[in-house]
Amino acid sequence: MPHLSYLMTNLNCWWKKILTVLLLVAMFFGTSVVWWTSPSNAALPAGNAITDGRALLRYSLPIDNQAVRDLQADLEDIANQLRANRRWSAISKDVSQAARIINSRKDELLKSIPDEQKPQAEALIDELQAGINDLRQAAESKDKEQIWTGRAKTLNLVSNLEELMVQKFPYDVPAEYSNLPQLKGRATVQMETNKGNLTVVVDGYSAPVTAGNFVDLVERGFYNGLEFIRAEDSYVLQTGDPPGPEQGFIDPGTGKYRSVPLEVLVKGDPVPTYGITLEQAGRYREEPVLPFSAYGAVAMARPEFDNNGGSSQFFFFLFEPELTPAGRNLLDGRYAVFGYLTEGKEVLEQLKEGDKIISAQVIRGAEHLVRPQ
């Protein structure tokens, strides 16, 4: 099967985008990986997909506190109203609702916080109250730039508050994967490239084995100096292929190729599904907790017919809303997303095949990595 970029060589940009949609299923990357689907199984339920990686990371935290989820939803919605011709009355309503939650549901916000962390949580709530007051003033003056800035600031505080609510890792990883590193929480990885820096938050709550493998390789310095080996405009940017004949990581402790299972946590499930695509499980219409709906989603590459053959190669998904309709992403459930780009979008947009990761390091959350004993 020819590579899509070869098929489109002589077509103009408009036709290229059309073909990108029509031929998603024919694309190859990494170690002969193919993304495919049958026509009858191509669509997930339609809806308004969340396209902000930071928001997806907030929603994927394993917490049960309705007050903080309501607070987050009101602040997230401000972006929708700004994009819809600046609906100032709706923005003011969102801000007012957020203020009411902070003022009248503080006890509910605090009930999920361990006692030893309550002072930190109360300080965050005070900062949120001040930030929401600033948002109210910006909405009254219809200052779009201040609204964007204030929304980002308050949502970062909400993220910090929500993270305090996670008191323990929510499930046991199957014993058969105890020989692999696991990330029992989250970690932040910074990559220095020849075009600039990228920051990725890796989510071990939703993909502990996939995320643990990645963080372990970062800490080993495995990705330092590696090139990006494939770049598809508005689609993927891939790396992780080491020099030499091997296409993945050879564990120096065993001398063997480290294989990582396909790992997808579905919304509502207590544990991830391992070793099988959601389509193969007859669950192709169900949604992963970490979907391919945000620019800079980070996912594990794998061989075409081996769900459990991933190792070191990973890719950034270069999501374009007009090419991937909301709720109809052909990759969800077939490949394992394990994090999202949170800083450096302008750098990611510039990176091409042949560009290089100069270095990668864990700058936060390394303590959550559990290596096999």
**pLDDT tens track for 92-113:** 999 999 999 999 999 999 999 9
Percent of the chain with pLDDT over 70: 84
Measuring CA to CA, which residue among 313, 213, 206 is closest to residue 260?
A: 213
Buried b (16+ CB within 10 A) or exposed e, 178-209: eebbbbbbbbbbbbbbebeebbbbbbbbbbbb
CA distance 145 to 168: 38
pLDDT at residue 6, rounded to an integer: 26
Query: Same domain for 231 and 337?
Result: yes
| Total number of domains in the chain | 2
CB burial string 140-157: b at 16+ within 10 A, e below:
eeeeeeebeebbebbbeb
Chain center to CA of 270: 19
CATH of the domain at 256: 2.40.100.10
Say yes or no: 157 and 286 in one domain: no
Q: Where does a domain end: 138, 165, 192?
A: 165
Decide: 362 and 215 in contact? Cβ < 8 Å: yes
Say whether pLDDT at 38 is over 70: no
Asked if residue 290 is part of any domain, the answer here is yes
pLDDT at 37 over 50: no
The C-alpha angle with vertex 45 and arms to 79 and 86, in degrees rounded to 5, equals 15
- 38 in a domain, yes or no? no
> What would the pLDDT profile of 272-296 be if each residue is shown by its tens digit?
999 999 999 999 888 999 999 999 9
192, 327: one domain: yes
**Residue 6 located in a structural domain:** no
Q: What domain range includes position 325? A: 175-370
The residue ranking higher by pLDDT, 287 or 189, is 189
